[in-house]
Amino acid sequence: MGYRYETVADHDATLEDAAELADRGLKWLVAEGIVRDGPGHPPGERWYLAVGPADLEPGGTLEIMPLRAVFDGGPRRDPSYAVCPHCAGHLVLDGIGRYTEQVAWELVEEAIDTWHDTGRAALACPHCGRDADLTAWAWDGDYFAFACLGFTFRDWPPLDGGFVEEFARVLGGHRVTVVAGRY
């Protein structure tokens, strides 16, 4: 059957402060009654504060990853493009742009491997020709987030935008992306 998930990825967390931020975020979620303390952090009695008004009670868990991780939308690899942070040009990923699908994905995967190993990687833009930090590219459907901290809500209804904003404030006003996927 598989499951769906949404990860709130914190772009401003670093390897150094990720554990402290993970703790701060979890404490707030528990204090608000959104999740419970304990194994798997199941939904708390006020889970509804994190989702839309008509949504059903979540059945899942919360997993916190305070380490360098590639958060993605699952194995389907279906984003059509990435957007260059310099010129807003598209790196087309589905084979109708400058590169074939295979070549485009090879470039992306190579940059991802480098980022995973070193925390820094450049991806060259086919339009303006400039290198841009992998983490600064935007992805079709918010398919990827490269971050040092992620909170993954598994088998929860879609997270409410207002909740995500508030949670980002708790994390120090950090920039966050919600990556949704299915396994």
Please report, as ranges, the residues that interact with Zn ion according to CB under 5 A: 84, 86-87, 89, 125, 127-128
Nearer residue to Zn ion within complex by CB, 19 or 107: 107
Q: Of 89 and 157, which has the nearer Cβ to Zn ion?
A: 89
Task: Provide, rounded to whole angstroms, the least separation between the CB of residue 129 and Zn ion.
Answer: 7
8 A C-beta contact, residue 94 and residue 82: no
C-beta closer to Zn ion: residue 79 or 89: 89
Determine contact, residues 26/41, Cβ cutoff 8 Å: yes
**Please, what is the end-to-end C-alpha distance for the chain in angstroms?**
9
> Considering beta carbons, is residue 89 or 97 the nearer one to Zn ion?
89
How far apart CA 7 and CA 153 sit, in angstroms, is 6
Helix (H, G, I), strand (E, B) or coil at 112: helix
How far out from the chain centre does Cα 16 lie? Answer: 19
Q: What is the distance between the alpha carbons of residues 91 and 97, in angstroms, rounded to a whole number?
A: 7
CB of 8 to Zn ion, least distance (A): 28
Nearest distance, CB of residue 93 and Zn ion, angstroms: 15
- For Zn ion, which is the closer residue by CB, 11 or 127? 127
- Rounded to the nearest whole angstrom, what is the least distance from the CB of residue 85 to Zn ion in the complex? 8
Which of 123, 88, 89 has the alpha carbon at shortest distance from 105? 123
Determine the Cα–Cα distance for residues 25 and 31; give it in Å rounded to an integer: 10
Q: Cβ 98 to Zn ion, closest distance in Å?
A: 12
If one counts every other C-beta atom within 10 angstroms of the C-beta of residue 120, the result is 11
Angle at alpha carbon of residue 148, lines to 138 and 145, rounded to 5°: 20
Give least dist CB 165 to Zn ion, A: 29
Looking at the Cβ atoms of 46 and 98, the one nearer to Zn ion is: 98
